[in-house]
Amino acid sequence: MSTITRFAPSPTGRLHVGNIRTALHNWLLARKAGGRFLLRIDDTDAARSREEYVEAIRADLAWLGFAPDAEYRQSERLAKYKAAFEALKAAGRVYPAYETAQELELKRKIQLGRGLPPIYDRASLKLSEEERGAKEAEGIAPHWRFKLDHYEPIRWDDGVRGPQKFDAAQLSDPVIRRADGSWLYMLPSAVDDLDMGVTDVLRGEDHVSNTAVQIQMFTALIAAQYAAAQKPRFAHEALLVGKEGKLSKRLGSLGCDAFREQGYEPMAIVSLLGRLGTSQPVEAFADPAPLIDTFDLSTFGRAPAKFDEVELARLNAHIVHQLPFEAVKGFVPEDFTPEAWHAIRPNLEKASEVIEWWQVVTGPVPALDFSDEDRAYLREAAGKLEWSGTPWQNLTGALKQTTGRKGKELFLPLRRALTGMDHGPDMKELLPLIGEEEARARLERAAA
């Protein structure tokens, strides 16, 4: 059976680093196995779902380079959930419940006050036919709960957490359908995973208790002959936190739009998130192939993964230093050349900074102050420009001979006069780009 994974965001906001990481890991898991990666839009919550977010999710995945092999939308599959619901109902695994939200809250408070876990007491399950009739005669429309089997042990071997065991009696029967007929997350997700042949559910550890419930749902759906498929394997990854160890608000809103705006390369994000929280070293990869080859759930740790933007910036610089000219062709001026890219590239943290450095080549550059001594030196330099072969070596070689200067004294005034800056790309490569006439003009202006 070939591997099928899915990423199942609710389109109620933009993707943030945490979701992006989960999506990436699902994509890597599928690619490594030569399988398929699905995008499932969990949009059963019509009031909170927005089309603009669906589009943003697609665009973000495409930008990051892990576009899905197929896309599904829960809002188009409501008939399936109804069929599954009816099958579970016929099998006695679904029951109507009549408590209001306030009643449930009160029960919770009482249980907590007595030091008991706030598990739903199944009061509605215990109602007689008559009592139920009376509720409905009063005009109370029921919501629906899935009836957990308290005698069926819940176990799975988690791809990250190892063997897991839950006692169904310690869990509440989950509400799966609201009184207005709309669906909560739990059942549609299980139905979809079966229908779409999902083999591996990889998601955040905040879903562990959902998995416990869904395992019984999968079994019940298969037993009710709703589906012939097998239930998937499960893996829950530790959550992502900021470097200070907390899930900050900033991290919760940090997504592809911010990354793009700040000029990060998609591969920097992929390189970082691919291995963050695993025992494998985070490295800057120019393409995802090595991440695919080495992807291994058994290297995932249980401790929260720490996201650090400084690390992202470092990876980004490494990736920019390897980017081919083609990658920047789209946003550089027409006269910008591959030679210019090679000269400037090692100096960049973000590819977009190339524009500022190109300005240093084309000019005008800021006029800096020089001492009298340096001005004399620069005047001499203007007369010594020799454009055959390697102009920078010619110039500095000649000046060394005639002035006896060396090191910083020899190089820095030239760099400052030629670029208006104290640091920057290798002058060997930069000077030919500036050109003879312009270089002489800059040296003469500095000497004046």
Residues 121-150 close enough to bind ligand GLU by CB under 6 A: none
Residue of 9, 174, 232, 277 that binds ligand GLU (CB under 6 A) = 9
Query: Least distance from C-beta 178 to ligand GLU, angstroms?
Result: 17
Q: Is 14 in the site for ligand GLU (CB under 6 A)?
A: no
Question: Which CB sits closer to ligand GLU, 53 or 341?
Answer: 53
Tell me the three state secondary structure of residue 103.
helix
Residue of 4, 8, 29, 88 that binds ligand GLU (CB under 6 A) = 8
Are 136 and 180 a contacting pair, CB within 8 Å?
no
Contact partners, residue 23, CB within 8 Å, separation at least 6: 7, 9, 15, 61, 64, 66
Is the Cα torsion angle 401, 402, 408, 411 positive or negative in sign?
Answer: negative
Residues 23-42 close enough to bind ligand GLU by CB under 6 A: 42
Number of chain positions touching ligand GLU (CB under 6 A): 8
Are 328 and 351 a contacting pair, CB within 8 Å?
yes
Residues 42-101 close enough to bind ligand GLU by CB under 6 A: 42
DSSP-assigned beta bridge partners for residue 39: 7, 71
Question: Which CB sits closer to ligand GLU, 273 or 320?
Answer: 273
Question: Which CB sits closer to ligand GLU, 39 or 148?
Answer: 39
Query: Least distance from C-beta 185 to ligand GLU, angstroms?
Result: 6
Contact partners, residue 149, CB within 8 Å, separation at least 6: 168, 216, 220
| Closest-CA residue to 328 (of 269, 265, 415) | 265
Query: Least distance from C-beta 346 to ligand GLU, angstroms?
Result: 41
Burial class (CB in 10 A: 0-12, 13-18, 19+), 100: exposed
DSSP annotation of 183: B
Query: Least distance from C-beta 281 to ligand GLU, angstroms?
Result: 28
249 is in an annotated binding site: yes
Site string for ligand GLU, 180-219 (x = CB under 6 A): -----x---x-------------x---x------------
DSSP-assigned beta bridge partners for residue 156: 164
Q: Is 10 in the site for ligand GLU (CB under 6 A)?
A: yes
Distance, CA of 349 to CA of 311 (rounded, Å)? 12
Query: Least distance from C-beta 207 to ligand GLU, angstroms?
Result: 6
DSSP annotation of 300: B
Question: Which CB sits closer to ligand GLU, 200 or 265?
Answer: 200
Torsion angle, CA of 176/180/182/184, rounded to 10 degrees?
A: -30
Distance, CA of 81 to CA of 51 (rounded, Å)? 22
Query: Least distance from C-beta 422 to ligand GLU, angstroms?
Result: 49
Question: Which CB sits closer to ligand GLU, 50 or 243?
Answer: 50
Q: Which stretch binds ligand GLU (CB under 6 A): 8-16, 79-87, 111-119, 374-382?
A: 8-16
Name the binding residues. Answer: 249
Name the binding residues for ATP. Answer: 249
Residue numbers of the site for ligand GLU (CB under 6 A)? 8-10, 42, 185, 189, 203, 207
